[in-house]
Amino acid sequence: MWKERHQHLSDTVSFLVATCEENVVRELREQFGHITAMWDNIFPHIRHYMHAGDILRQRRDYRTG
C-alpha cells in the first residue's frame, strides 16, 4: 500500500514537472527528493511489517475461500 502511494506520488510529480513553470518544477523536485530520501531511510525498517501484513491477508483469504 505505501509503496504504491509513493509510486503514485512519483507519477504525479513527473506529470507536474512536464506541465509547470521552472520555479515550480525546482520546488517539486526538491520536495520530492526530500520525501524520497526519507522513504529510502524508512522502507528497510518497515519491510518486514509489510511482509507480515501480506501473510495475514493471505491467511484471511484462505479461510474465507
Confidence of residue 4 (pLDDT cuts 50, 70, 90): confident
- Counting the structural domains of the chain, the total is 1
Q: Is the dihedral of CA 53, 54, 57, 59 positive or negative?
A: negative
Across 20-31, b (16+ Cβ under 10 Å) vs e yields eeeeeeeebeee
Task: For residue 12, give its domain range.
Answer: 2-64
**Per-residue pLDDT tens digits for 9-64:** 999 999 999 999 999 999 999 999 999 999 889 888 777 666 776 778 888 888 88
The H helix count followed by the E strand count for the chain is 2, 0
Element (H, E) at 3: helix 2-19
The predicted pLDDT at position 59 comes to 87
**Per-residue pLDDT tens digits for 11-25:** 999 999 999 999 999
Look-up of cell digits 522513504: 39
